[in-house]
Structure 1
């Protein structure tokens, strides 16, 4: 190691230690998180246990706001399915307004799939009143909060998954995986029917619970050389096979083919995937995402969730990454105005 590398390591050491109390998850890029010695001593297991304990404590405080049947389904399975979530007339207006309008869009390619996202921002909310009514519903937001374990407003997008768009290799989202070592919330409100051939959302029921078997699996994966495993797992989004699921007393991932106007809200700390697409096509949904520092004990205190601020975050985030693309990267490239259903 050169003098400059040694000096850099010394200067960064306090920051690296502080990052252990955040959602930092990469075994590949973080010398402490990826340390076999520290993980043999129980570092990763301790982080997982602490994050899970705090998550359960926050959910207990948020539970009284959630519909009983939704809470029961989530506690059992790790996800909730709500059919006909939007009144029929509102859904027809919402769907037509979104699908028949061109909006500023960005895209990212992973394997043979293209993900297109359109920010749900103040302009869209003004143009689609039914969408604003949906996203401000108290019962829906209470469910979002419970699954995320925080009273935070998710980032909202119109998302299109264009499947089998080329020969660039398999879509990595089709591998069963967890997003991180702790709970986070994602939601999909499907604007069109999703069949088993359309790359449906799949989930391993019950895998959101950090049981002793899951903790043991987490410990064992923390001991592997991050250079010897796939890059996404090494960066903290672990892929899992059926044999490992069986070791954790879990079943296989189950696909969820669903009709339009169905909302799915899931804890993506559990094992999930995008099902295989057996034909080219476009899956269109309202997609929502929330993740905060898993080691915070409080449920609120999120300034960015304030009305008037929350709706602008996606645009700010994209602009920030555009400005510092050379330093932090920007996978989401602008593609002009697009209709969500274009493939």
Structure 2
């Protein structure tokens, strides 16, 4: 063991009790011997049990119908969220204004992230009411099992199949080993051939077949370089997926004014776009330490920090750009959400 490894070993051990998931950055998490003896499986199952307990304390946040849909499928779809007049006002608030944005290029797809700031929530009344309202916040928090402040962005996806390599997000994958919530409130229609969010119903729950698959992948993960798989976001082939016994994947092709909330510990992918497409929505994500028993006491809910996660993310991203550090989402200045991608220019 190198001296630096010796000094880092207490940190690596501590990370076992957190959401750390990389099999290459933490040699304890990535240990072949430990994973052969069940380390990864034990973390999976404990995270699932703790999330179930926290979620049981948050039932008041959602309707019985939505709780049942999540338990059965791992995702919830709510159509016609706003009355038509309110929806049109919200669309104009979003589409007619310029905001500071970042863009991520993956294969033939550019994803534009526009951090949602406190100023946007104050100045855009329909937009602010939706993002801070009980449906958006309640479902995101219930599925994620945390009464905590999520990070939120305007989210524009531009896909042109002939422009580059395959988008890695179109491969079925699990974001991490713990229950994690993401949501999209769509401001544009999502067609079946337009790269819809696709989910394997029921794959948010562990089964004997899934645990055996997770075990095999964990044992081998540390040898796979710095792939997404090795970093803790396991990829799965269609053939492997068929062997696990889950239901057939569902393409979530929905009209505008629909909210989709999913546990992205379950297998999901961005559908393949067979034509140039643009999709605009409001995106939220929520993940915390999977092993804590309480769903609250979130530091980002404190005065001065509440609703600021995206602003903090943007500030860190800008600092990386100024100091020459790598960032997967470089800033592109102020743009309207549907303006053509700067990364393609």
Per the normalisation by structure 1, the TM-score is: 0.94
Distance in 1 between the 2:302 and 2:203 partners?
32
Aligned 8 A contact 2:148 2:301 in 1: yes
Q: Which moved more, 1:13-22 or 1:119-128?
A: 119-128
Distance in 2 between the 1:61 and 1:212 partners?
27
Partner of 2:73: 77
Q: Which of 90, 107, 129 is the matching residue for 1:94?
A: 90
User: In the TM superposition, what is the alpha-carbon distance from 1:112 to its structure 2 partner?
Assistant: 1.1
C-alpha offsets along residues 141-188 of structure 1, whole Å, 9 cap, x if unaligned?
222211010101211110101102764311000001010011101000
Partner of 1:330: 327
Partner of 2:343: none
User: In the TM superposition, what is the alpha-carbon distance from 1:305 to its structure 2 partner?
Assistant: 2.2
C-alpha offsets along residues 26-55 of structure 1, whole Å, 9 cap, x if unaligned?
112211111111111111111111111101
User: In the TM superposition, what is the alpha-carbon distance from 1:89 to its structure 2 partner?
Assistant: 1.6
User: In the TM superposition, what is the alpha-carbon distance from 1:254 to its structure 2 partner?
Assistant: 1.6
Partner of 1:302: 298
Alignment of 1:245 with 2:245, yes or no, is no
Q: Which of 112, 120, 125 is the matching residue for 1:129?
A: 125
Partner of 1:39: 35
Distance in 2 between the 1:45 and 1:38 partners?
10
Helix, strand or coil at the partner of 1:187: strand
Distance in 2 between the 1:305 and 1:102 partners?
27
Alignment of 1:161 with 2:157, yes or no, is yes
Distance in 2 between the 1:221 and 1:166 partners?
32
Mapping of residues 128-207 of structure 1, within 5 Å: 128-164=124-160, 167-207=163-203
**Paired residue total:** 339
Distance in 1 between the 2:161 and 2:93 partners?
26
Alignment of 1:257 with 2:275, yes or no, is no
Unpaired runs of 5+ in structure 1?
Answer: none
C-alpha offsets along residues 281-304 of structure 1, whole Å, 9 cap, x if unaligned?
211110111110111111000020
Q: Which moved more, 1:139-148 or 1:54-63?
A: 139-148
User: In the TM superposition, what is the alpha-carbon distance from 1:310 to its structure 2 partner?
Assistant: 2.5
Partner of 2:278: 282
Partner of 1:8: 4
Partner of 1:56: 52
Alignment of 1:208 with 2:204, yes or no, is yes
Partner of 1:67: 63
Alignment of 1:222 with 2:227, yes or no, is no
Instruction: Give RMSD over aligned pairs.
Output: 1.8
Q: Which moved more, 1:139-148 or 1:37-46?
A: 139-148
Partner of 2:227: 231
User: In the TM superposition, what is the alpha-carbon distance from 1:95 to its structure 2 partner?
Assistant: 0.5
Distance in 2 between the 1:230 and 1:102 partners?
36
Helix, strand or coil at the partner of 1:14: helix
Helix, strand or coil at the partner of 1:224: helix
Aligned 8 A contact 2:161 2:275 in 1: no
Distance in 2 between the 1:109 and 1:40 partners?
36
Partner of 1:271: 267
Q: Which moved more, 1:277-286 or 1:238-247?
A: 238-247
Distance in 2 between the 1:166 and 1:234 partners?
29
Distance in 2 between the 1:333 and 1:324 partners?
9
Distance in 1 between the 2:162 and 2:304 partners?
40
Q: Which moved more, 1:264-273 or 1:24-33?
A: 24-33
Alignment of 1:292 with 2:288, yes or no, is yes
User: In the TM superposition, what is the alpha-carbon distance from 1:132 to its structure 2 partner?
Assistant: 1.3
Distance in 1 between the 2:60 and 2:33 partners?
42
